[in-house]
Copies of this chain bind each other. A is one copy, B any other.
Amino acid sequence: MRYGITHFKDLLGGEGYSWTRARSAVLTVLTTVPRPLRAEEIHRALRDPRINLSSVYRALRLFESLDVVQRVELGEGAARYELADDYRDHHHHLVCDACGRIEDVAACPVEAAGLTRHIRKRTGFAVRSHVLELFGLCRTCRRVTG
């Protein structure tokens, strides 16, 4: 991770938010596990029965508004959350349709193809962010499932 946990403490303090047990714990999980997690999974990973699931949701919502965390939707019904690009290098996901495993890919075709500029010129739309998820079969499942 690019910054230590105290960075987040300072960031929250600077924005007028308290540094609480729930927020700290959620961030510790997110900086430790390198893949997008569901609120439920984060809650379980806290291993602190004092912290309620709704506090996890509240923390995630706050972090999202502060661009500390970004939401990832893979069409599973529940959203996933991971550290935002500023803290984790821009990347995308390879989602295996067979086993559900999620890998990261650093390659970004939106940048590579200069798509933002192309769109700006052709349509006047100013792209600020994008979401790209790739679905298919991971190496392992490809061998088995075909």
A residues bordering B, Cβ < 8 Å?
A: 71, 73, 75, 94, 96-97, 103, 105, 107, 109-110, 112-113, 115, 118-119, 123-139, 142
Contacts and interface: CB of A to CB of B under 8 A. Distances in A.
Given A103-B123, A105-B123, A135 B139 contact: no
B134 A130 contact: yes
A138 B112 contact: no
Contacts of A112: 109, 113, 115
Given A94-B125, A125-B103, A134 B113 contact: no
**Number of copies of this chain that the complex holds:** 2
A128 B118 contact: no
Contacts of A123: 94, 103, 105, 139
A123 B136 CA distance: 12
21 contacts: A71-B75, A94-B119, A103-B123, A105-B119, A109-B110, A110-B132, A112-B113, A112-B115, A113-B113, A119-B134, A123-B139, A124-B139, A124-B142, A125-B136, A125-B139, A126-B142, A129-B135, A130-B135, A131-B131, A131-B132, A131-B133
